Structure 1
Amino acid sequence: MTAAEALTVDIDHLRSWIGREDLGSDVLTEDLARKYHATFDLAGEAPKFGEVAPRMIHVCLAQPAVPTAQLGPDGHPERGGFLPPVPLPRRMWAGSSQTFHDDLRVGDEVRRISRIADVVFKEGRTGALCFVTVQHQIEASGRLVLEERQDIVYRNIEASGATPKTPPPAEAGAHRRPMKIEPPLLLRYSALTFNAHRIHYDRRYSMEVEGYPALVVHGPMQAAMLLNYATELHGSPPSRFRFRGQSPLFDDAAFALNARDEGDGLKLWTARQDGPECMVAEASWQ
């Protein structure tokens, strides 16, 4: 679908979703904290009741739980519920801007308030793109913990035989940690976040339907790895964290977490060997 074709869609209808809200509640249990800790191989013991939980564990909490029969062919909930029915087949978490006001603690009763803030069509280098912006607010036991702006991007599947532009290779960071993604990690993170998007666990679907060369590594999981790395390098978690996807990361090659000092904060990114930046992030402690 070209940008011109996309504009024949009822944009006003899609934009009528602006202002729509979705609420969710959950409890941050010791069991979830233990499983999150194990999934990321975090150092030390998992936090116990009353102790501070890792930042970005909120992605695992209060997620929508539609019946399996109401999932679309890609594994996401059928379109037209909370999110607008954008007529482009690929859906990805494009990025987020997060401001942390407090910590989540094990045992907290968590409340999520989500609101559609904007719906915009754009023309990208690969064709038509639709960005849906969602504002999230996370409260825990009556206190504000997190405000987040999330950008979701919808795009078309590239035509067979198309040669996409190759971004330049990423530089190596002043701080660098080699990593390896295996399918069990993707499956564990999908389970923790109740994310049934098939590109993360169904290799045949990912390659034959959506045209990827392998399984796709979750954007927010890469972001969580970068936030954990920033916390380790700085000695405390950032109060502000921004991340955005540049290129997909796949499970068929080793990659690395990279970081460098930038002002009072850190710039961080993931990249395959001789590959482009995949997820880039900025962490600050102001």
Structure 2
Amino acid sequence: MPPSDSASDGFAVLEETARTWRPDDVRTTDPLDPAPAAALSAVLDLPAPAAADGEPLPPLWHWLYFLSWPRRSALGADGHPRDSGFLPPLPQRRRMFAGGRLEVAAPLTAGRPAQQHSRVSRVVPKRGRSGNLLFVTVRSEYRQSGRLCLTEEQDLVYRSGGAPPVPPAAALDTESRPSAGTSPWQQEWRTDPALLFRFSALTANAHRIHYDTPYTTGVEGYPGLVVHGPLLVLAMLELVRREQPDRPVRTLSYRLNKPAFCEERLLACGGPEPGGGPDDTVRLRIASHREDAHAGADVGFA
């Protein structure tokens, strides 16, 4: 069946955006105060702060830093800024975090100033099964004392207008447990509204799907508060820190497949591939009773 005129017009908007939208690079400096790392350690209920002054930050904990706090009047109805930075100029824009990659030359050290240089490196329109999408890749480099420490890419997906990203669903099942399977590393995990609210505050994430239940269910069409994609990734990485604390992470690739919802029973699991050697990639995932992998990650070591 040929696409409708409205669908064709919508894809043309995405193609034009991909062709002409060239946001400026962003350069930011942050002192990397250890306080946010200590706060996240408390939010994740860790036994001790993950990084004190002068200690390396765990992988991806730089997400607590280099934050932007736009004025309240600059926010849209969904909590995201209406027009700024790396948000493409699309009507009725909806944003989804799809995944990313990280290369670690050296971990960032808490308590020492660091510099971030970010830019949009790729913009690609695609026709998806559920509608037209714009894929945006943001590439960031992080330096301390002039040395390149981290190189990160984040893949973001934008939908222009249309229906909510998921259809309305029945009440959540918050009691069924995920299947443990045969994964050698396992950690049961459950979220609650306070955890999501505190993580939103620590990461300057005002997207209402993480803390505003009436908006999330009535406007976005989700059956409950949505667990942050970055929080799912950090939960997987906590398995690595628990099971192999002395192995420095050098590469990370992660994917966010299906949303997980607040108070569902979740399982962070994975481990080395069967029969692999000590230097092989560790494969991780977040499972629930209804999804085998809400998120997945591959971790490589030095």
Aligned residue type for 1:241: L
Note the residue ranges of structure 1 that are not aligned, 5 or more in a row. 164-168
Match of 1:202 in 2: 212
Kept after mapping to 2: 8 A contact 1:24/1:113: yes
Q: In the alignment, which residue of structure 2 is the partner of 1:166?
A: none
What is the alpha-carbon distance in structure 1 between the residues aligned to residue 208 and residue 168 of structure 2?
A: 23
Change (3 A) 1:48 1:13: closer
1:101 to 82, 92, 105: 105
| Residues in 2 aligned to 1:132 and 1:86: alpha-carbon distance in whole angstroms | 13
Corresponding position of 1:89: 93
- Determine the C-alpha separation between the residues in 1 that align with 2:103 and 2:122: 19
TM-score when scaled to structure 2?
A: 0.85
Mapping of 1:16-35 within 5 angstroms? 16-18=20-22, 20-35=24-39
Q: 2:296 aligns with which of 256, 280, 283?
A: 280
1:174 corresponds in structure 2 to: 184
| Identical columns (%) | 35
Q: Output the aligned Cα RMSD.
A: 2.4
Q: Tell me the CA shift for residue 109 of structure 1.
A: 0.7
> 1:31-110 to 2 correspondence within 5 Å?
31-79=35-83, 81-87=85-91, 89-110=93-114
| Residue range with higher mean Cα deviation, 198-207 or 170-179 | 170-179
Say whether residues 1:267 and 2:270 are aligned partners: no
- Measured against aligned partners, the alpha-carbon deviations of 1:116-160 in whole angstroms (never above 9, x if no partner) come to 111111122222221111101112232212101110012352586
Aligned to 1:138: 142
Q: For the residues of structure 2 that align with 1:178 and 1:224, how far apart are their CA atoms?
A: 14
Q: Distance in 2 between matches of 1:50 and 1:125?
A: 48
Structure-to-structure mapping, 1:161-240, within 5 angstroms: 172=181, 173-235=183-245, 236-240=247-251
Inter-CA distance 17–89: structure 2 relative to 1 (3 Å threshold): closer
Matches within 5 A, 1:110-121: 110-121=114-125
Per-residue CA distance 1:233-263 (angstroms, 9 max, x = gap): 2233421011111100110311110113124
Structure 1 residues 161 and 231: CA distance shift in structure 2, 3 A? closer
Moved more, 13-22 or 128-137: 13-22
Match of 2:174 in 1: none
Supply the distance in 2 between the matched residues of 1:202 and 1:284 (Cα, whole angstroms). 37
Equivalents in 2 of 1:159, 1:94: separation in Å? 15
Q: How many residues align?
A: 281
My pick for the range that moved more, 80-89 or 189-198, is 80-89
Give the Å deviation of 1:276.
3.4
AA of the residue aligned to 1:17: W
Q: Work out the CA distance in 1 between the residues paired with 2:151 and 2:7.
A: 32
The one-letter amino acid paired with 2:210 is H
| Normalised TM-score (structure 1) | 0.89
Which 4+ residue blocks in structure 1 deviate beyond 6 angstroms?
none
Unaligned runs of 5+ in 2: 171-177
Amino acid at match of 2:219: V
Return the offset for 1:191: 0.8
Change (3 A) 1:10 1:52: closer
**1:177 partner letter:** Q
Q: Is the Cα contact below 8 Å between 1:90 and 1:210 reproduced in 2?
A: no
Q: What is the one-letter code of the residue matched to 1:184?
A: A
Cα deviation for residue 83 of structure 1 reads 2.4
